[in-house]
Every structure is written in C-alpha cells, then in structure tokens.
Amino acid sequence: MRNATRRILTRGMATAPQNVPMSRLEKDKFINYQRIEDNLAIVRKRLNRPLTLSEKVVYGHLDDAANQEIVRGQSYLNLRPDRVICQDATAQMAILQFMSAGLPEVACPSTVHCDHLILAENGSESDLARAKEINGEVYNFLATSSAKYGLGFWKPGSGIIHQIVIENYAFPGALIIGTDSHTPNAGGLGSVAVGVGGADAVDVMVGLPWELKCPKNIGVKLTGSLNGWTSPKDIILEVAGILTVKGGTGAIVEYFGPGVDTLSATGMGTICNMGAEIGATTSLFPYTDRMGKYLRATGRPEIAQASASFANNLRADEGAQYDQLIEINLSELEPRINGPFTPDLMTPVSKMKETAKKNDWPEKLHVGLIGSCTNSSYEDMTRAANIAKEALDAGLKVKSGFTITPGSEQIRATTERDGILETFRKAGGVVMANACGPCIGQWARHDVKKGEKNSIITSYNRNFTGRNDGNPATHAFIGSPEIVTALAFSGQLTFNPMTDTITTPDGKPFKFTPPFGDELPIKGFDAGENTYQAPPEVRSAVDVEVKPDSQRLQLLTPFKPWNGKDYKDSRVLIKVKGKCTTDHISMAGPWLKYRGHLENISNNMLIGAINIENGEANNVKNQETGEWGAVPAVAQAYRDSGISWVVIGDENYGEGSSREMAAMSPRFLGGVAIIVKSFARIHETNLKKQGMLPLTFTDPKDYDKVDPTDKVSILGLDTFAEGKPLTVRLEKQNGETVEFPVNHTFNPNQIKWFKAGSALNEIAKNVAAQ
C-alpha cells in the first residue's frame, strides 16, 4: 500500500482537484488548487528554475503572478490567503479595527478562538467557569461580532487555536495568516501559515491582498529515523540551537529528505510551531501519506485524496536551491533540553547535569508542565502517559508539580475516554482547561514566591524571563512531553531518563524504558462537547455592544496623519539594554484582560525593558522635569506636553509574540520611531501598520552614540522613499550635534500608511472612496 501511495504522489495532474470543501464546517468554501496550478505555470516561465515547496505555495497565492516582482529577500509580494485565524486576545483589536473600516462582512474565511483568557489555577472545570464569568463581556463581544461579520467562533473551552486549526482547517498547500506567532503549527499539514499582527488580518478580512516580503528559503534535510527517547520536539530544539532566535528571520524553513516520511503530521506540527522561536516567517513540510492519514482520521477524506492527487505541487522540485542548508541525521539525534530564559540555548540531556552545575541552575525541579499548542497531540499524550504508567506500576508518583493541558476539546475527550488523563491524575497530575494557560503567563502559581530562584520544565515553545509565571527568577526549560514527565517523577532537572534510576518505595532502583505511543486513537477521535458557533444566515439583527465606560473594550479613534514635517527634538523615552521581546514591550499574563482596550493596555508599555541608564525595569527619567517614573507615565507626560519620543533598542527587537499592542501602545502614547540594531519580522510590520517608524542603525555601533539625555531629530521625511536612508541627528546636553544614517524597509505602499497615520486610516480612506 505504501508503494502504491508513493506512485500516486509522483503522478502530476493536468487539472487540479475541484469543489473540495476547505473544512467540514464550511461546505460552501472550496480549496483553490487551480489557482496554484495557474499561477505556477506563469511563475515557472518567468523564473525558469526549480522551485522549493514554500515558493510553490507562496507564489501559487500571488494576487498578480504575471506582473509581481519576485526576488527572494527583496520583493514585497501581494498574496491572497485562504484563511484568517484570530485568538481571543488579539481578535478583540483586530475586530475593532475591522469595524472601523465600515464593511458588512469579512471577505475571507475567518475564525475566532477563545484560548488565551483562561487562567490556570485549580483545574479545568473551576478555571473555565471562572474565566467565563470574568471575561463574559469580552466573550459576548467576540461572539456577537463574529456572528455579525461572518466569522466562525470557537467558544471558551474549545481548545488552543493552533490545535483547532490543524484538526479542522489546515490543509496541504493552504496559505493561512493568524494573529498569533505560533500560527506556523499548521505547517505540519503542509500549510504556509504565518503569524501576523491584527492590522495584517484586517487587510485580508476587508478584501485587500496581504503583503509579505518575499521569503528566503532555509532547507533542513532530515535523514534516518527517530528512536528511543528522541521525538519531533528534539528536532526543533536542535534547529533552534543551530539557528538561534533570529537565524530564521526573513526565511521560510522547509523540511525535506527521507526522514520526513518517518514523522507523524502532529509531530511535524510541533516542529513548525516552535519554528517561531528562530524568527522564521514560517516552517512547513511536503505532503506525505502521514498527512493523508491524519486528514482522514479528522474527518477530511476528500482533502486527503485531493492533496495526494495534487502532490506534484506539494513538494519541492528536484534541484531546488536553498539560501541555507542544514542536515540532521535523526538516527543520531539525542533528546535536548533548551533554556533557561531563551528557547535557543540547547543542551543534550546527557550534558544537563554538568551544564546545570557549571551555570548554577537550580537542580530541584519544582514543576513539570505538558501540553500547549506545541505538544498536546494524541501521540504526545500517549507517549507521556506510557512513561507515567510505567512509573505508577513501580509504585512511584511525581515528586514535582505536574500539570497537563489538553490542546483541544477533541484531545481532552479522546484522552479521557482512553484512560490517559486518569493515568496522569493517578500519578499526581492536575488536568487544566483546554487553553493556553501557563504557556502565555496565565498561571496562578502558588508553590514559590516571586523572586525565589527555581526551575520548571515545560513542553511549551517559549521560555523568556517571567514568561510562564511572572517570576524573573524562574529558570524555565523546554523539552518533549516524555522528557518533562520523566523529570517530574525524578524531581530533578539533571535526571537523565536514558541512564539514571529512581528509588522505588520498596528500595529498588527503577529505570524507565524508552516511551512509545499511538500516532492516532485506535477507536477514532471523540469530538467531545460541540463548542463551535457558525455565523447565522441572517446577521442584520445581531447587535455588537461596546459600552462607553467599559474597562475591557474601547472603540478606536484613528491616529493622526503625518504632518508633513521631519520629527524634531524628540526625547529618548528609554534606551533599552539587551533582549527586548514583545513580553518586555507589552506583557501578557494579567494584562491580557485589557487587549481590547488600548488606553488601559498601554499602561504596561515597556515596563519589562531594562533601562541602560540605571539597569532597572520600568524606571526612566523624564528629561524635561528631571523626575523618575514608570515608562508609560513618562511617555504620557511627553505626549500630553506635545513632545514626541523614540525608543533605542538592541538586536532582534520585538522578538516573540505577534501582539500588535506592542506597536499600538507606543503610537498611542506619543512615540514616533523605534531605532534599533535589528527587528523581529512581525513587530517591524506591526510598527509600520500603526504609523510608526521602525528604523535600524546603518552601523550597529551607532547605538553607542545615543545617550538617554539626547534630543533626537529624524531628517529626510519630506523625501521619504523606498531604499533611501533617513538621517538621525542627536543634540547632546552640551550643545554638540551628532549625525548618522538609519535604514528602513518601507516600500511605496507602506509609506502611504505612514503618511495616512496608519494602515487602517489608508484602508478606511479607500473604502470611503469606493
């Protein structure tokens, strides 16, 4: 059967499959493989070279294949995505922006997923009930606005957006954009799925093309096969160690080679999901029979058949060239643990004991956490449960705290039916709600005090300082679910389950055997509770309410257009020292409740960034008064006095989540420019969308020329043009002036956003003119 499948995969088609529904929930919306076929016929003639898989999918979605300039790393492509997905925290602002455009319904299939606002504390039932009560106003807004404007709505308790998407919406060859940085999870089913800010989503929802800088291609060739303790998570932990948190910036990571066929679809999803941690635009895999197997298991046999028939365009051409090539022999790969404080600090499990001692990392493990959008598949859960059952049979229970977060209601119901969750409970674990929870800081942790040095390990994707629990002293590490589970039984970060033993209650040494699990449930998936709300056929009677005095939601007031002049004598609000992620710029955790209220959420702007002037967070000097204060307060004081301000930053500024509040808040509080050594992709785009100037030092050493007391002027805006540097002039306290060039990546269309005051202003202007 396998050989027969391979023969099908190598057979090309004269006509692409037709009339295949995009999902079980949208029978009237169809996969457009013919557009890919037609576009590629044009692109092949123009480029006259073999194409990578990502090029096929991306160029297959071009708005104008005949006239679009196509140069990797240079051109800005106008694309037509198949779908927009939004999680509840970012959906609030995306929908508020869509409402400002004045259109009656979304122009592209779109969904909202309630997963970010549920606080993990006591367990699934009580945590979900509390979330529905506390967030009722927001959930009602999202439900009614989704119904009003034609979006599908997944209620709280449905699960994490990325698990829902791979179960219901992703398909090979799709182009999906999502207002969450881990949207690339859908690459496990061969989708080019890209995390974006809400303003990008609004572009597509109002019917405009989506703009993306033509990605470079990083190829990762996989050979051999995983064995023993090694899992798909270890592949991306290894890649993160190789490329670092910014090595994938501006590129799509494309996996290929014989090792690909050994991976499950959800395993490939894990790899693509965490590709966000290397700064990649997205990651994806070619079509394999394992994808077809997963599509059939999740009720999509027509898509499985269509994808197999279209497989000639769902893999790279022979001889396709990559900008960078990495090769990994899976047979030689050892389990990894990455961290702390950054997801690219990679340590083989066998080296953790000596590395932890050398770096004085706390060896006692306080909590192990499994699940999340990265590792909550049925395969993940069964492998971890296999470890837990083996330990239970030996009389052991976990020595660390142990939490389990199912990725979706379908995963929860299926693992409950099959006894997997009960195994975790017997071991001492606590099952949390189907939501993001501790992964994004939604964790009411009680076992340590803030500031207490401790170690935790998760199967999540991100581990920046304070990310999970708000405690900057927590050393958070990342591993596979089976490694996390084994370490939770040992109670030690330095435990090596491949070689070490645990003493059982009767005094005998116990050693784990390598885990195994089921790729898919033998009895099939149990869908569980129906948590989906489809848009009603008649939507005119639906009312969307935003109360004027609400503390959770706030209608938007358009930002003012550019006044046509250079920015003169702006203050340096803060010169940031070192890493500055979106967690530093606009924290999540307890602040998530304000994601639909621009004024309130702006009170957290840059409160986590370290001020180079004093080495402290959230303490900057008001250069007009000489007083010290919180960053948002000083920014507001400048704004209210008519003084513009800038931020000076280091490398990969804005790394991390897609949250556009990290761009909207600086704009709202009077910022005009962010000047740094380099940007993370999504954040740079978000700043442009809000009318800000994201600028980079032409010479990174010029960062050292800026003093917090300087007045900063940005010159050359009257002739602002693509590829033309601007000039920064510093006026020192002693009257001396220093000038140097700064670069930007604005194209002509993005310059229109700047001049209009924001991309949304430009959209509204165009809609009004129609």
- Residue 739's CB is within 10 A of a number of other CB atoms, namely 12
Q: Among 116, 300, 412, 584, which one carries the catalytic annotation?
A: 116
Q: What's the first-to-final CA gap in the chain, in angstroms?
A: 56
- Taken as a whole, the chain contains a residue count of 770
In angstroms and rounded to an integer, the radius of gyration of the C-alpha atoms of the chain is 25
- Cross-strand pairs, 325: 219
Which residues 6+ apart lie within 8 Å of 749 measured at CB? 76, 211
What the block records as the tokens of 368 is 């192990």
Cα separation of 267 and 247, whole Å?
A: 22
Neighbours of 359 (CB within 10 A): 11
Which structure tokens are listed for 391? 């330990």
Q: Is 657 a catalytic residue?
A: yes
Please give the Cα distance from 513 to 405 (Å, whole number): 24
User: How far is residue 479 CA from its own chain's centroid?
Assistant: 18
Burial grade of 564 (CB within 10 A; 0-12, 13-18, 19 or more): exposed
Q: What is the DSSP string of 585-635?
A: HB--GGGGGGTB-HHHHGGGBTTTSEETTTTEES-EE-TTT--EE-HHHHH
Using alpha carbons only, what angle is made at residue 552 by residues 547 and 554, rounded to the nearest 5 degrees? 55
Strands 737-743 and 726-731 come out as antiparallel
Rounded to whole angstroms, how far apart are CA atoms 103 and 530?
Answer: 30
* Active-site residue flag, 639: no
Count CB neighbours of 544 within 10 A: 16
Q: What is the 3-state secondary structure (H, E, C) of 689-749?
A: HCCCEEEEECCHHHHHHCCCCCEEEEECHHHCCCCCCEEEEEECCCCCEEEEEEECCCCHH
Provide DSSP, 546-565.
--TT-SSB-PPPPPPPP-SS
Beta partners for residue 223, in sequence order: 329
Instruction: State the DSSP code for 331.
Output: G
Would residue 180 show up in a list of annotated catalytic residues for this protein?
yes
Point out the catalytic residue in the list 54, 124, 376, 657.
Answer: 657
Q: 3-state DSSP helix/strand/coil percent for the chain, to nearest 5?
A: 35, 20, 40
Q: Give, in order, the Cα–Cα distances in Å from 315 to each of 452, 599, 643.
A: 49, 47, 54
540: tokens are: 């005119």
Is residue 289 annotated as a catalytic residue, yes or no? no
Identify the active-site residue in 54, 61, 113, 115.
115
Distance (Å, whole) CA 270 – CA 568? 47
Active site residue 704: no
Q: What is the DSSP string of 251-299?
A: EEEEEESGGGGGS-HHHHHHHHHHGGGGTBSEEE----HHHHHHHHHTT
Q: Which of 82, 88, 127, 180 is catalytic?
A: 180
Q: Which of 88, 56, 58 is nearest to 75 (CA)?
A: 58
Single out the catalytic residue among 61, 336, 383, 462.
462
Work out the number of other CB atoms within 10 angstroms of the CB of residue 43: 21
Q: Which of 475, 659, 667, 683 is catalytic?
A: 659
Q: Could you list the active site residues?
A: 115-116, 180, 462, 657, 659
